[in-house]
Structure 1
Amino acid sequence: MTLSQFRITRFQFARDRVIGDSQVRVDDVNVAALELISDSGAVGLGFLQTLFSPLPDQGEIEAVFEREVWPGLKGHKAIALVHRVNRPRGGNQRAFSLPFAEAVQVALWDLAAKESDLPLHVLLGSCRNRVRAYASGLDFHLSDDEFVALFKHAASLGYEAFKIKVGHPDFSRDICRLELLKSCVPAGSKFMIDPNEAWSSKEALMKLEAIRAAGFDLLWVEDPVLRHDYEGLRTLRHAASWTQINSGEYLDVQGKRLLLDAFGADLLNVHSQVTDVMRIGWLAAELGIPVTLGNTFLEVGVHMAAALPEVEWLEYSFQNFDHLVEQPIEICGGYAYAPDRPGHGLVLSEAARETWARPQRLARSELGAAPHNPRLPIFGRVQ
């Protein structure tokens, strides 16, 4: 059951709402599905994504993958590759020309679990099949009315914890957003904020105290200061003892290790690279630091969340990706459920391949109407 083929399908479509934070704004989806195929016919699926510019044409993506990635995969067993430790040095220490790393890890683990006839979370050692999910708006660029509609709808679906984007140059707007959130979700809900590194450490402390004085208790503040400001993060942990510091989102494995060594986080934020998440998750457990799963493409992170016992929360951001797969991850009553199907349980939709595949790069004006996420009310596309 060795790797014998690969297939790449390029997608490009509009988002059904603008997403973003204090630093970025994103209107379109630019992804490609990577399918790794074994000689037994089993398929492992992963996705690569760019946020700010379209991927190159599909032919170019395939050529780069075949040149830079495929030689290290072809003829090997997926289960062996996911456990391999490489020691790149010198000029060999570099990223791929396109963002293949996450897609490869997810596809290999999917294939390894399928060939073991196990759900991925079981292969990773889980003792449960669900984890609490919180509603994350990616809402910085939404109008107040759109903001309220999103979170009111999320509350109606059973979410009990909500994360909003802050870090506006006018701090009163951040306070206003918290007041709007409080007005549209049930009393007793848990609130989190994410400035996306908009503040300095002293500024963060002053604003956190102002938020508390305004009557808002926060479960956590995420990435309040620069990612490598380990001293500032550690200082905030001690100075703002009434909330938690959630950090690590923007750091690679080495950076996350340094963050843990510096005790700069109450919660370690991880994402989609399965091997990396499990390795750093084990280290975090050794230090008694809980892990949270940030946004993962199509919520595949539920498998790692279920397998790491100290994970309490998984982020769900209502993005319009569900049409890309036959059966998306189930999220119900404020919990995300890891599928009991072999692998990670996500299979590329043939209907999506036929309808939404875009082998050639399109101009934004050619994208047309956005596919809608049925888990959300309809938003007008923000131009």
Structure 2
Amino acid sequence: MKIVDFTITRFQFGRDRTIGDSQVRATSANVAAIELIDQNGRVGLGFVQALFQSLPSHDEIVRIFTEEVWPGLQGQSPLALIHRVNRPRGGRQRSFRLPFEEALQVALWDLAAKQVDMPLHKLLGGQRDRVRAYASGLDFHLSDHEFCELFGAADALGYAGFKIKVGHPDFERDLHRLDLLRQTVRVGAPVMIDANEAWGAKEAAVKIEAICRAGHELLWVEDPILRNDFDGLRLLRNSLPWTLINSGEYLDAAGKRQLMLAGATDILNVHGQVTDVMRTGWLAAELGIPVSLGNTFLEVGVHMACALPEVEWLEYSFQNFEHLIEQPIEIRDGWAYAPSRPGHGLTLSQAARSQWSCPTVLAEEQIGRGPDNIRIALSRAGTPG
């Protein structure tokens, strides 16, 4: 079945908290839903997200999509497109003006799976329907009170592990946050830290050893140093046998391949581009390297996580996007469950389409705050907020 039409819906709303890490912060969500429609009216859904600036107006997004993307989709089969290998050369090797790439891969795989009436994780070859989920705070800019409130809520919901942001100029603050986490969540829960490349290699080794001496056990240290410092990452792997190095988040598929072949990571971090995740995940399996699924929009990464045998963990960060869809991914008792519905199982909410769509660009002071999904989750679980 061929792709015959598309719809784009633009959203802009305030986040329920300031999110960020040692390098960045964000207070608003800037999102566009792309729906690809086939001859039988089936819809493949993907989301464009601009993390740190507004997306253009709806009309401008449609204009750019029509000019740059649609000619390569119109009249094509999604099953053919998801497996197509392109080798752009010269001036043809360029990105879209807007970050459409991940949204397109997700929407095409969603539509392809619907056309063969299969859940996406089954189409990808998955033999399980759940993976462990850890709570990630995106918490660098929160106060201590907000930090404890967030991770206390995550613990009450039964998450299987907890990851916090480190890399503060005052290292004592990193140690303080780890102390707070230990006081807030249950004893013995796996703990991870993410420095978002804040450190140099020698600095990272010294600080991670200091964390160990302070009595903190770490399952992994994520992105401690620059993404392409393969020598430094190998140094950390060899000098810190008591924890694991998790890297690759900021590298493209080719960079992830180089990272693994250089022996520069214990765990490969992948995200939301379905085709790229599967290709790098297959290589990781051949090399015996574990894979972790980082943040994916509305946790669509649960499908790749269930399909790749090397994946043990899926990241969940309490981002307030769930009001955009009819039925979010279920996360219960520390496990994320892949939907059994055809495709990835996410459908754009009609209420979101009517109540939350924002076709024009709003100034920061005009943006309304989105729902507080942490409170909603606690309410659903019957836990006092």
Classify the TM-score, shorter chain: over 0.9
Partner in structure 1 of residue 302 of structure 2: 302
Q: Is contact 1:11-1:31 (8 Å) kept?
A: yes
Partner in structure 1 of residue 39 of structure 2: 39
Q: Is contact 1:246-1:267 (8 Å) kept?
A: yes
Partner in structure 1 of residue 190 of structure 2: 190
Deviation at 1:367, TM superposition (A): 1.1
Structure 2 residue ranges without an equivalent (≥5):
380-385
- Alpha-carbon distance in 1 for matches of 2:261, 2:366: 49
Partner in structure 2 of residue 380 of structure 1: none
- Alpha-carbon distance in 1 for matches of 2:365, 2:187: 43
Q: Is contact 1:126-1:308 (8 Å) kept?
A: yes
Please tell me the residue identity of whatever aligns with 2:123. Answer: L
Matches within 5 A, 1:123-134: 123-134=123-134
Q: Is contact 2:284-2:310 (8 Å) kept?
A: no
Aligned length: 377
Deviation at 1:372, TM superposition (A): 2.0
- Alpha-carbon distance in 2 for matches of 1:159, 1:260: 29
Partner in structure 1 of residue 260 of structure 2: 260
- Alpha-carbon distance in 2 for matches of 1:80, 1:283: 22
Q: Is contact 1:58-1:359 (8 Å) kept?
A: yes
Deviation at 1:364, TM superposition (A): 1.1
Partner in structure 1 of residue 350 of structure 2: 350
Structure 1 residue ranges without an equivalent (≥5):
378-383
Change (3 A) 1:222 1:376: farther
- Alpha-carbon distance in 2 for matches of 1:191, 1:289: 20
Q: Is contact 2:160-2:335 (8 Å) kept?
A: no
Partner in structure 1 of residue 382 of structure 2: none
Deviation at 1:370, TM superposition (A): 2.5
Deviation at 1:164, TM superposition (A): 0.1
Please tell me the residue identity of whatever aligns with 2:377. Answer: R
Matches within 5 A, 1:43-122: 43-122=43-122
Partner of 2:83: helix, strand, or coil?
coil
Partner in structure 1 of residue 377 of structure 2: 375
The C-alpha deviation readout for 1:233-257, integer Å capped at 9, x for no partner, is 0110011111000000000001101
- Alpha-carbon distance in 1 for matches of 2:287, 2:160: 28
Partner in structure 1 of residue 285 of structure 2: 285
Question: What TM-score, normalized by structure 1, do the two folds share?
Answer: 0.98
Partner of 1:183: helix, strand, or coil?
helix
Q: Is contact 2:113-2:342 (8 Å) kept?
A: yes
Deviation at 1:160, TM superposition (A): 2.7
Q: Is contact 1:318-1:376 (8 Å) kept?
A: no
Partner of 1:218: helix, strand, or coil?
coil
Asked if 1:142 corresponds to 2:148, the answer is no
Q: Is contact 2:157-2:378 (8 Å) kept?
A: no
- Alpha-carbon distance in 2 for matches of 1:336, 1:234: 32
- Alpha-carbon distance in 1 for matches of 2:317, 2:370: 17
- Alpha-carbon distance in 2 for matches of 1:163, 1:195: 11
- Alpha-carbon distance in 1 for matches of 2:248, 2:300: 19
Q: Is contact 1:133-1:336 (8 Å) kept?
A: yes
- Alpha-carbon distance in 2 for matches of 1:368, 1:198: 32
- Alpha-carbon distance in 1 for matches of 2:235, 2:7: 48
- Alpha-carbon distance in 2 for matches of 1:26, 1:344: 27
Partner of 1:257: helix, strand, or coil?
helix
- Alpha-carbon distance in 1 for matches of 2:92, 2:371: 40
The C-alpha deviation readout for 1:37-69, integer Å capped at 9, x for no partner, is 001100000000001110000111011111111
Deviation at 1:89, TM superposition (A): 0.5
Partner in structure 1 of residue 383 of structure 2: none
Please tell me the residue identity of whatever aligns with 1:54. Answer: S
The C-alpha deviation readout for 1:255-314, integer Å capped at 9, x for no partner, is 101101111110000000000000000001110001000000000000000000110000
Partner in structure 1 of residue 249 of structure 2: 249
Q: Is contact 1:133-1:334 (8 Å) kept?
A: yes
Partner of 1:233: helix, strand, or coil?
helix
Deviation at 1:371, TM superposition (A): 2.0
Q: Is contact 2:132-2:160 (8 Å) kept?
A: no
Partner in structure 2 of residue 271 of structure 1: 271
The C-alpha deviation readout for 1:155-178, integer Å capped at 9, x for no partner, is 111113100000000000000000
Deviation at 1:90, TM superposition (A): 0.3
- Alpha-carbon distance in 2 for matches of 1:199, 1:221: 12
Partner of 1:152: helix, strand, or coil?
helix
Partner of 2:59: helix, strand, or coil?
helix
- Alpha-carbon distance in 2 for matches of 1:376, 1:95: 40
Matches within 5 A, 1:306-325: 306-325=306-325
Deviation at 1:376, TM superposition (A): 5.8
Asked if 1:223 corresponds to 2:223, the answer is yes
- Alpha-carbon distance in 2 for matches of 1:376, 1:147: 16
Q: Is contact 1:318-1:375 (8 Å) kept?
A: no
- Alpha-carbon distance in 1 for matches of 2:235, 2:115: 47
- Alpha-carbon distance in 2 for matches of 1:375, 1:11: 22
Question: What TM-score, normalized by structure 2, do the two folds share?
Answer: 0.97
Q: Is contact 1:150-1:376 (8 Å) kept?
A: no
- Alpha-carbon distance in 2 for matches of 1:259, 1:346: 33
Please tell me the residue identity of whatever aligns with 2:74. Answer: K
Please tell me the residue identity of whatever aligns with 1:86. Answer: N
Please tell me the residue identity of whatever aligns with 1:100. Answer: F
**What is the CA RMSD across the aligned residues, in angstroms?**
0.8
- Alpha-carbon distance in 1 for matches of 2:369, 2:230: 44
Q: Is contact 1:113-1:119 (8 Å) kept?
A: yes
Matched residues, percent identical? Answer: 67
